[in-house]
Amino acid sequence: MRRGDVVVFRYQNNVPRLVPTLVMASLVILTALKARLMDVSLVWICHNVDQDTLPYFKPIERLRRAALMRLAHAVLVLDPAFLPYMPRRDARAVSFGAKRDGSVSAENMVAIRAFADRFDRVVLIAGQDKGKYKAFARIPEVVARFAEAGLEAGVITAGMAGDRVFDPATEGRVLRIVEKNIRESALAGQVDFIYRENADISMPYTVYAAATASIPVLTRRGNILADILEREGIGLCLDGDITQPRQAYDFSGFLKRHSWDSLSRILTEQGIEV
């Protein structure tokens, strides 16, 4: 570490073991203190505003986060909607950008096309099925909501939902595939919505992947993602008009307003050279 460097902290999640958690927290705090003493710019990109993704050893988590909140020259969150929840009044909002990587195997594409042909609407859910991630648990509710609207819905799961079992009627509407890094754009002609719901104050990368694929995001009202989708015009809530998945959405506008270069622009504005 030298004067003029920039130290950037991103994900700081604890692990479910005490000793590694203590070591990691100590290194983070000592690095932050050293940066301040050496006049090195310290930036914290706070992905999860209220708590870690999987909050192990909460007192240690709170201490580490409090140290970064106090010592960082710049604290950044991933959406303006999160700023009211930040203790730092000078926090700024940055963003990710369009998703370019990922894949869908030929075998999975065959299965997806056959599956999509059976239903009026198809919903994709990808990611994890634990902690703050609530999407997989909502599958019966999603299916029921479409049925309420007079539509048969099928759900494609690409992620960690292999162990979750539903009632037989719901199971018949679920296709489980395995893709380590799914390319949502490859499914634009097969998928009508991507469902996402988090139980914390964070910005899922799914939103950028969906906008890149021009697929609207679906969520439940009552979580902060609902406010973001409606503000940006890139999705809707389950209680909205789910019968029209191809209505006008502002995917291109969202991606123009949210790009990877926002971080360097904001740091430059604050006098931090990157």
pLDDT, one tens digit per residue, over 18-41 is 999 899 999 999 999 999 888 888
Distances (CA, A) of 156 to 79, 80, 135, 137, 192: 28, 31, 12, 13, 11
Sign of CA dihedral 113, 118, 123, 126: negative
Query: pLDDT at residue 212 above 90?
Result: yes
Task: Give the whole-number percent of the chain exceeding pLDDT 90.
Answer: 57
Q: What pLDDT score was predicted for residue 273?
A: 57
pTM: 0.88
* Residues 80, 69: Cα–Cα separation, whole Å: 17
Q: Look over the chain and give the mean of its residue pLDDT values, rounded to a whole number.
A: 89
113: Cα separation from own chain's centroid: 26
- 159 forms bridges with which residues in the sheet? 127
pLDDT at residue 272 greater than cutoff 70: no
Evaluate if residue 161 carries a pLDDT over 60. Answer: no
User: Could you report the per-residue pLDDT of 76-93, keeping only the tens digit for each?
Assistant: 999 999 999 999 999 999
Is the confidence at residue 264, as pLDDT, over 90?
no
Backbone φ and ψ for 162, nearest 5 degrees, come out as -60, -30
CA gap 250, 84 in Å, rounded: 25
- CA dihedral (130, 134, 139, 144) in degrees, to 10, reads 150
Q: 149 near 243, Cβ under 8 Å?
A: yes
pLDDT bucket at 127, cuts 50 / 70 / 90: confident
**What pLDDT is stored for residue 39 in this prediction?**
84
Tokens of 167: 């009632």
- Cα distance between residue 136 and residue 133, in whole Å: 8
Measure the CA–CA gap between 135 and 117, rounded to whole angstroms.
23
Q: Is the pLDDT of residue 189 over 70?
A: yes
For 50, the enclosing helix (H) or strand (E) is none
CA separation for the pair 249, 252 (Å, rounded): 9
